[in-house]
Amino acid sequence: MCGIAGIFNFDLDRSISKDVLKRMADTIAHRGPDGEGYFIDAFVGLAHRRLSIIDLEGGNQPMFNERRDISIVFNGEIYNYIELKYELIKHGHSFVTTSDTEVIIKAYEQWGFACQEKLNGMWAFAIWDAREQHLFLSRDRLGEKPLNYMLYKNTFLFGSEIKSILAYTGDLEPDDEMHELYMFLGYIPAPYTYYKSIKKLAAGNFLVVKKNKVNEHTYWDLPDISENDLLKDKKQVTSRLNELLYDSVNIRMRSDVPYGAFLSGGLDSSCIVSTMSEISSHPVKTFTIGFNEKAFDERDNARIIADMFRTEHTEEIVDKSSLEQSIQKVLHHFDEPFADPAAIPTSFLAKSASQHVKMVLTGDGGDEVFAGYSNYQSELFAKKYQNSIPGFLKNVLPGMVGLMASVVTGNSRYKLNRIKRVLDSFNVSFDERLITKFVKIPPSEMKLLMNNNYYPINDFISSTLNNCKLKDPFYRLNYFNLKISLPDQMLIKIDKTSMANSLETRAPLLDYRIVELMYQVDKSLKMPTYTDKGVKHMLKSVMKNKLPNEILNRRKQGFEVPLREWFKDRVFENVLNSTNSSIALNNTMIKKLIEENNKGQFDHGTLLWRILLLQRWMEQSIALPTRLTLPL
């Protein structure tokens, strides 16, 4: 687990400065505090910061083949490197280290670009092939490791974080066209960033840089399957999933340093800790974060699992007093506005764990892979609603509920308004329903808040879902989660917060074999009923004799932050008044959102948080490389 950066000059006579390379690497020193390395070959330069996990003595980078005409900088882990090493030895290759990095070099020598299809892991790497005179950059299938790049003054630049690129270029202009995408999603999806010229390499893609060209290719995608061919044999799927889950956890426990696990007390992390305990000969170290607000606190559930498997358990608390400092750290380490509030407790959790171990396994990806979000229940219910409720009643029900909400107060009004919003969503298309769920206010009100149209969210959703061949809204939601929100929200969050604390995280539920299997499973197995009992049905089937009923059958909570409560503090009214003309938000709408939130009519905490982070980011200096690195 590391940080990488590099330069490719299209002007072949222009040399690379080691001082510049070092400056690019120094901005991401938190990703690799254990070592640094540089390589310059005429017009190409590679930089690396190392966090040592495997082959502590022999895994330094950049690494080379025997002839030194192939070099690599690599961020991530290849979990099946031992198996691949044996296969490559049979092909005549020899090895001088025990690192997974050398396995990538040999795999590239053996299979070329097809080596990506052999790898099981998480990665962002850059290989300079002096024989072919090209730079080959790759990102893992699901997007666990980030990779940013830019064309700047006849030069190709890349880095694990945007700040490495900014260290070369200095300040760059924010891309105002991204405002609408950010306000709806809370993050900027690949290939875009909040900078006009910097791009993210999409998950499952690779670049080939040669002469004056940068060509992007896709080497992996979700299985191409029709709805008629989806798997419906529960016994077969359960058996295969059980095998894959055990193997996925097992190969991710390969490490030469102490490791543990994040434990929330939910099904996903409990599943990982259970399997780790089955494999490990010593107690697993587990780490939990909690809140003073009881409704959001999962520590009691985490203790059930910690006690059951006799783990070495550590707990921490996050409260509102740390909010201001956390905002500054999020802005620094994410390089662009990123409004998933769970970044705050995740960063505290990573900091806590990093004081005991250098690597943890997590339950990340479980909701996307096993259809765990409440939105999946909503889609099943929406279909039932649309098929069973008479047309005239569908039109009047939302209005009736809204009328009831207007004559009550307090929590009752909030709940009724929420029901009305759900009923309204059932009467529109899936695309419109998805957009509404992003911000929990009607898109028309969101447009009013924005004052201007930028890159319309409607166009983005439409172009994304055009690539999904499955037509049922349940499967289209799953496609969107796996292709967009997983890599660009969930995984970037865990990468940034963990690497800011020099901690490696591994996600067994995101083994591509598990993802491919579950994507091909029929929804009748994934979620046989829209009640809580049907959520993550296949994972529960695998774990039913391994976890207690209070964990298997508990209502899904999710790793949420009590923003609604935190934003009732009047101090945020001044902070949230937009003063930046480049955003030009509607102040009247902002005040309305604050008032409705404070009165408990609606939960606007998520949207207010997005506004706050966008304003702070736009108003502060964006010369990120000139700032000191702040640990999260």
Residue numbers annotated as active site: 2
User: Using an 8 Å Cβ cutoff, are 174 and 623 in contact?
Assistant: no
Q: How far is CA 468 from CA 22, 81, 226, 623, in A?
A: 42, 32, 10, 39
Evaluate the CA torsion angle 360, 365, 366, 370 in order and state its sign. Answer: negative
For residue 191, is the peptide bond before it cis, meaning its omega torsion is within 30 degrees of 0? yes
Report d(CA 74, CA 101) in Å as an integer.
Answer: 7
Report d(CA 511, CA 240) in Å as an integer.
Answer: 13
Q: Which helix (H) or strand (E) holds 209?
A: strand 205-210
DSSP states of 293-348? SGGG--HHHHHHHHHHTT-EEEEEEE-GGGHHHHHHHHHHHHSS----TTHHHHHH
CB count, 10 Å around CB of 153?
10
- What strands lie across the sheet with 148-151, from one edge to the other? 35-41, 44-50, 2-9, 155-159, 148-151, 198-200
CA atoms within 13 A on the CB side of 59: 26
Q: How far is CA 77 from CA 372, 459, 611, in A?
A: 27, 36, 36
**Closest listed residue to residue 305, CA positions, set 275, 338, 350:** 275
User: Using an 8 Å Cβ cutoff, are 263 and 290 in contact?
Assistant: no
Q: How far is CA 100 from CA 76, 78, 104, 202, in A?
A: 9, 6, 7, 23
* Nearest 10 degrees: Cα torsion 511, 517, 523, 526: -50
| Three-class secondary structure of residue 506 per DSSP | strand
**Closest listed residue to residue 532, CA positions, set 558, 501, 553, 563:** 553
Report d(CA 405, CA 426) in Å as an integer.
Answer: 19
**Closest listed residue to residue 12, CA positions, set 309, 212, 244:** 212
